[in-house]
């Protein structure tokens, strides 16, 4: 990764962490960009910020503990105030592909319980239409052959990730090439309809904003289809 990409991620992460307020329940994302935000949150906690974190993966939970960020069980909170997470792709409509790091299931559960889902990304993640990045689909291992076959009927060419890669919830990931995804909302519903699919990495209508590092600036994309520089 180039040092400018790393800097764009850091700038987006820093800007996002400024949105966190005392006494909030904070969803902690997964992936290299989220890691930068978690370090920033750790620093603010060290300086006295009082929050409770809800991690989206075992690796994020381990990092949060290392940084002394207090954690809370997701099932003991009514909602999560703000979540900061990464994405593999996003559009200006704030449709996302997530799951490159294999944590999409917990990430989506955290996102649906979150009031303000904030996505942080470097400029390479912005796309006109989703689909350059293969869509991760989390499946029950027993169903993986059947799901691969069903995906073909949707013109998706799938491949089981890794040898195989096993998620925190004990499932497999199928990475699916759909070429360009013209209608993510429709595809999302069709994928959820396949028996054996637990969840997929299309996030539609969940992000409140995307903070994208671009050069030395941070561009903000809002749900209402507006954009400004932070």
Ligand X SMILES: O=C(CO)[C@H](O)[C@H](O)COP(=O)(O)O
Active site residue 199: no
Told to check if 184 binds ligand X by CB under 6 A, we report no
Q: Which of 42, 53, 102, 184 binds ligand X (CB under 6 A)?
A: 102
Q: What DSSP string describes 71-115?
A: B--GGG-S-EEEEEE--SEE-TT--EE--TTS-HHHHHHHHHTEE
CA distance 179 to 145: 21
Q: Minimum Å distance from CB 218 to ligand X?
A: 15
Binding mask 32-71 for ligand X (x = CB under 6 A): xxx-------------------------------------
Told to check if 27 binds ligand X by CB under 6 A, we report no
CA distance 132 to 162: 20
How many other C-beta atoms can be found within 10 angstroms of the C-beta atom of residue 127?
Answer: 18
Q: Minimum Å distance from CB 103 to ligand X?
A: 4
Could you tell me if residue 10 is left (phi over 0), alpha (psi between -120 and 50 degrees) or otherwise beta? alpha
Q: Which of 12, 38, 104, 127 binds ligand X (CB under 6 A)?
A: 104
- Is 31 annotated to bind ligand? yes
Longest dimension (CA), the chain: 54
- Is 205 annotated to bind ligand? no
Report the interface residues with ligand X, using CB under 6 A.
29-34, 85-88, 98-104, 107
Active site residues: 107
């Amino acid at each position: 990764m180039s040092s400018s990409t790393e800097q764009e991620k850091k700038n987006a992460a820093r800007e996002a962490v400024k949105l966190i307020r005392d006494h909030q329940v904070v969803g902690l994302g997964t992936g290299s960009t989220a890691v930068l935000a978690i370090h920033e949150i750790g620093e603010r906690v060290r300086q006295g910020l009082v929050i409770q974190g809800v991690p989206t993966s075992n690796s994020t939970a381990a990092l949060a503990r290392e940084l002394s960020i207090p954690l809370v069980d997701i099932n003991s909170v009514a909602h999560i105030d703000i979540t900061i997470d990464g994405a593999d792709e996003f559009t200006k409509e704030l449709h996302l592909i997530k799951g490159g790091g294999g944590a999409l299931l917990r990430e989506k559960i955290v996102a649906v319980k979150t009031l303000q889902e904030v996505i942080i990304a470097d400029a390479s993640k912005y796309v006109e239409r989703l689909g350059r990045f293969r869509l991760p689909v989390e499946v029950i291992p027993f169903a993986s052959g059947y799901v691969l076959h069903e995906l073909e009927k949707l013109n998706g060419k799938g491949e089981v990730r890794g040898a195989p890669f096993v998620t925190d919830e004990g499932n497999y990931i199928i990475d699916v090439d759909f070429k360009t995804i013209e209608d993510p909302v429709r595809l999302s519903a069709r994928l959820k309809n396949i028996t054996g699919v637990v969840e997929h990495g299309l996030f539609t209508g969940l992000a409140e904003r995307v903070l994208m590092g671009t050069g030395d600036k941070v561009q903000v994309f809002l749900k209402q289809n507006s954009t400004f520089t932070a």
